Structure 1
Amino acid sequence: MSQDLMRAMTVSTSGMKAQGLRLRVISENLANADSVAQGPGQEPYRRKLVMFRNELDRADNLHKVSVSRVTNDPSQFQTKYDPTHPYADQDGYIMTPNVSSLIETMDMREAQRSYEANLNVVETSMSMLTRTIDLLRI
């Protein structure tokens, strides 16, 4: 039984690690949501996406989650009318990042809830393991 609890914690901690990285990437996206290109003809910040994968741990025969890669979102940049901006095009538009604060906030909540669910599994497993050890001492 204790081995099963340890395996549950291993799987959950892999989920926490993956969601922690996802939260970091979302934070980076939100921090750059209002940025602009650093020069004329250059692109602004491009939103990043986290891709997950199922990973088999052959030693323990466990299916864990891991981050396969962090990639750029290929969607179009947004434009903003600001003819006074030094990097505005001939029509007065500047390109802004393809980051939507609303989408990033929803993604952040999803990642946070997933992280918390995995944390609850770890805490519950630790509690059960501690109770089992206490019972064996009697």
Structure 2
Amino acid sequence: MILGIGSDLADARRIARSIERFGERFLERVFTPVERAKAERRRLKAETYAKRFAAKEACAKALGTGLSHGVFWRDMGVVNLPTGQPTLELTGGAARRLAAMLPEGHEAVIHLTMTDEGPLVSAQVIISAVPRRA
């Protein structure tokens, strides 16, 4: 069953300006160490950061909280499954919110898709509950 859906559209130029203006303070506040390591290896760093920014916004919408009620930027981190497929790993307030949304006997599955057509980036998140495997 679907628990939440969120989407976001971002402009990589805006993220690049934030990085230029606020530097380390912005990167540290918004992105996890895993996200930062991935972006810093990429030629198009701003686009990589922007896709992750959009994914976090979409996730916050799917959680039904936005960036409030104890949900912070770094509580939502884009990670890749062994197949390479992106998903989100939730910690802190985001993980607590997700746990509160789950029906008893279910576990969460987070579907994430991200795309870019420079300078625009987009992300969609679907959070589902599936019966817990015995």
Q: With structure 2 as the length reference, what TM-score do the two structures score?
A: 0.25
Structure of greater Rg: 1
Greater per-residue strand proportion: 2
Greater per-residue helix proportion: 1
